[in-house]
Amino acid sequence: MIAAQYGLDTLVGEVATVKRTLGRVSPVILVGHSYGGTVITAAGTDERIAGLVYIAALAPDAGETSLSQLNQFPVTDVFSHIEVADGRVWMLPEGVEYFAGDLSEEEQKVVWGYSFCAGRGPVQPEARWHCLEVETELVHRGHE
């Protein structure tokens, strides 16, 4: 399994990053969650793609955008707990309750910390170990 490390700058940039990653594995099944569904939809036309898997993901049709799909539904409470800075949207610590409320408090801290991992802008000092911790935990549970 390989994760494309895109920077959430532009859809064109994200798709280009995914396509550059395709050369590392074959055949390829792309998996997208949330906005990742938009990315795999756009990248999925590449002939190296064997399939697409959507997990609670956006899947815009021709002429649609992620935003046009999201605008069809009520705004979730997590958007009351964000900060826009440095060209990015940052979830505040109290927002993770609305993003991953079904997880324990400890797991929510890991989710929040992981959202700031390398390649996504400034990393909170306490978040660096969260990145390693969650990856280790997923491998330990056999979810490689």
Return the C-alpha torsion angle 134, 139, 140, 143, nearest 10.
100
* Per-residue confidence (pLDDT) for residue 52, from 0 to 100: 92
pTM above 0.85, yes or no: no
Q: Where are the domains of the chain?
A: 1-73, 76-144
Could you tell me how many residues make up the chain?
A: 144
Q: What is the pLDDT of residue 118?
A: 39
pLDDT above 70 (res 130): no
> 94-111: per-residue pLDDT in tens?
888 888 888 888 888 887
Strands (E), the chain: 28-34, 49-57, 82-85, 88-91
